[in-house]
Amino acid sequence: MVSAFWERAAFWCAAGLWTVAAVGLAVGGGMYLAAACATSLILLILTVIKPLENRLATRQNAHKVSLRLQRAQSSLAEGEAVVR
């Protein structure tokens, strides 16, 4: 569950960096209307879709699987076969 949280956080961080870079390039290129529209769209997405994602990604959707292997008797490949 922790790794799923960090994967989502990393996705939003990377997406934010790319969008800020794109808006910066648009402003730098003199495309002020496109930059303003993109900024408006980004703010809409962050205020509407991000909280919706947080609401839908609750603990009820998380699944925890534990698998214990003894070294002398099992290999990692056998454990992977059980999980699949």
Q: Tell me: the pLDDT tens digits for 17-56?
A: 888 999 999 999 999 999 999 999 988 888 888 778 777 7
Q: Which pLDDT belongs to residue 31?
A: 94
Closest CA to 57 of 3, 5, 16, 2: 5
Q: Which pLDDT belongs to residue 54?
A: 73
> Quick check: pTM over 0.75?
no
Per the model's pLDDT, the better-predicted residue between 63 and 24 turns out to be 24
Instruction: Output the average pLDDT for the chain.
Output: 77
Mean per-residue pLDDT, 63-69: 68
* Rounded Cα–Cα distance for residues 55 and 59 (Å): 10
* Three-state SS sequence of 15-76: HHHHHHHHHHHHHHCCCHHHHHHHHHHHHHHHHHHHHHHHHHCCHHHCCCCCCCCCCCCCCH
* Rounded Cα–Cα distance for residues 50 and 9 (Å): 11
